[in-house]
Amino acid sequence: MLLDHERCYRAVASRDARFDGHFITAVRTTGIYCRPSCPAMTPKRTNVEFLPTAGAAQQRGYRACRRCLPDAVPGSPDWNLRADLAARAMRLISDGIVEREGVPGLATRLGYSERHLNRVLTAELGAGPLALARAHRAHTARLLIETTPLGMADVAFAAGFASVRQFNDTIREVYGVPPTTLRGEAGRRRRGDVPALAGTLVLRMPYRSPFDADGLLAFFAARALDGVESVGDGTYSRTLRLPHCAATVTLQPAAGHVLATLRLGNPRDLGPAVARLRRLLDLDADPVAVDAVLGADPALAPSVAAAPGLRLPGTVDGVETALRAVLGQQVSVAAARTAAARLAAALGDRLPPELTGPTEGGPDLLFPTAEVIAERGAEVLTGPARRIATVLAVAGAVAAGGLVLDAGRDPADLRAELTALPGVGPWTAGYLAMRLLSEPDELLATDLAVRRGAEALGLPSDMAGLAARAENWKPWRSYAATHLWRAAALAGRTS
């Protein structure tokens, strides 16, 4: 990834927070790397180098600034905008694939050899998969050190380190102090904060402003399944099926961050949980860039002005979203919600009280797995036989391992595999690319709500006319589609 030195230095000199997460500033004279907006004295131009990732900085021997905490920033929006090998690898590394399956597992999921993967990542990101995963482990460890009372040995293994010694050495190298010092510094920073309830982790997940939290909450509220999700009082709560165990989370948008209250069945799931929640809320997006392009269209401009920072709803579970999307083919959102809720109530798993917390009536039901639906779905599903067959076909393909639904998929390959299944059309494939892969440029011109929204805003509502107009919205047509969904919902309420 080539970084323009002059442009990066101007961002650092002005302490421009908009560039946090886009690149890392490494200072040769101090051996420290920072976020661009670090409040420390601006280093001389000749003393800095700019790197694409924290992993690249660590591999060059730099340690993280303990003042600006460069790993506690929104991630690079490049990982959503790009669909190349490096971007797909970064998504899977953030989800903890290297810790669970090693570099061979990462390479297999991406469909390349280990040697080729290492060569591409080193060239693109300045570090290979092991170094990038190490940076991810260090970040997860810092979160656990600062937000939990876990002993250091438990933190080490929960973060994915192979030994306590490796954990201690990495923390010293990355942060310049032993783990116990990080815990002491975190305690001083937390003075005055509301203490977390026993058994919970409370994290602040930063985002780039503006952030249309109301739009996301409205989207989730319209589709929330009883027992699996709930929306109310400005929060979104749901159950999570994570790699090692189940969990629950409550998300509460606030100024500059989203407060996430997590109850994990296994602390090793913290890293994957945070990565998936950030993708669910599209927290790594660059809203200024999106709004600049879409706001230039006179018809879209009023919607952009009314909902600045509108985000693309993602997913925490690709299999769940795929099955719900198939259930929603050619029916209303309300009808799809009813069908999915019936399926979850009949085949889902109830969580133990220690994961649901002290509040009565909160989400306590896991959406059923593909294996369970493939085996027992025919007993529960109602409606047209063709739709039931499609749901069972998708569930069966996932259960058999023939269809993988994770954030590391190549968009073109995923579309081809989905549309090869009986009853799965281009709309479903495009919708899943949008939500599972955070594909930023999927218009969904065949979607009736998109076309109704276009009509409400005075845009062409026929597919050909809308597609032609949307050429001006590249590469953010998914965000435009979300604006059109919003316009259709507003038109429906006022009609």
All structural domains of the chain with their residue ranges: 5-64, 78-189
Of the candidates 71, 297, 441, 447, the residue annotated as catalytic is: 447
**What is the model's pLDDT at position 364?**
95
* 441-452 confidence digits (pLDDT tens): 999 999 999 999
- Record the tokens describing residue 370, joined without a space: 């593909």
222 and 231 Cβ atoms separated by less than 8 Å: no
CA-nearest of 28, 77, 81, 72 to 54 is: 72
- The predicted model scores a pTM of 0.90
Parts of the chain with a pLDDT under 50: 191-192, 194-198
- Record the tokens describing residue 425, joined without a space: 């059309």
395 and 384 Cβ atoms separated by less than 8 Å: no
447 belongs to the catalytic site = yes
123 and 113 Cβ atoms separated by less than 8 Å: no
76 and 45 Cβ atoms separated by less than 8 Å: no
Q: In terms of DSSP bridges, do strands 365-366 and 24-27 run parallel, antiparallel, or are they unpaired?
A: unpaired
Question: Please, how many CA atoms are within 13 Å of residue 189, restricted to the half-sphere of its CB?
Answer: 13
AA letter at 471: E
Of the candidates 34, 38, 65, 68, the residue annotated as catalytic is: 34
278 and 211 Cβ atoms separated by less than 8 Å: no
CA dist., res. 477 & res. 123, Å (int): 30
Q: b or e along 386-415 (b: 16 or more beta carbons within 10 Å of the residue's beta carbon)?
A: ebbebbbbbbbbbbeeebebbbbbebeebb
**What is the model's pLDDT at position 30?**
95
Return the CA Rg of the chain. Answer: 23
Distance of CA 296 to the CA centre of its chain: 27
475 and 448 Cβ atoms separated by less than 8 Å: no
Q: In terms of DSSP bridges, do strands 201-206 and 257-264 run parallel, antiparallel, or are they unpaired?
A: antiparallel
CA dist., res. 372 & res. 383, Å (int): 19
CA-nearest of 428, 475, 472 to 80 is: 475
**What is the model's pLDDT at position 194?**
44
> In the CATH hierarchy, which top-level class contains the domain 5-64?
alpha beta
The H or E element that residue 240 is part of is strand 235-241
- Record the tokens describing residue 458, joined without a space: 């005075």
Q: Quote the Cα angle for 67-70-76, to 5°.
A: 160
* 346-389 confidence digits (pLDDT tens): 999 999 988 886 556 789 999 999 999 999 999 999 989 999 99
**What is the model's pLDDT at position 188?**
61
68 belongs to the catalytic site = no
What does the chain come to in residues?
495
> In the CATH hierarchy, which top-level class contains the domain 78-189?
mainly alpha
Residue partners of 370: CB distance under 8 A and separation at least 6 = 319, 323, 394, 395, 396, 398, 399
CA dist., res. 486 & res. 483, Å (int): 5
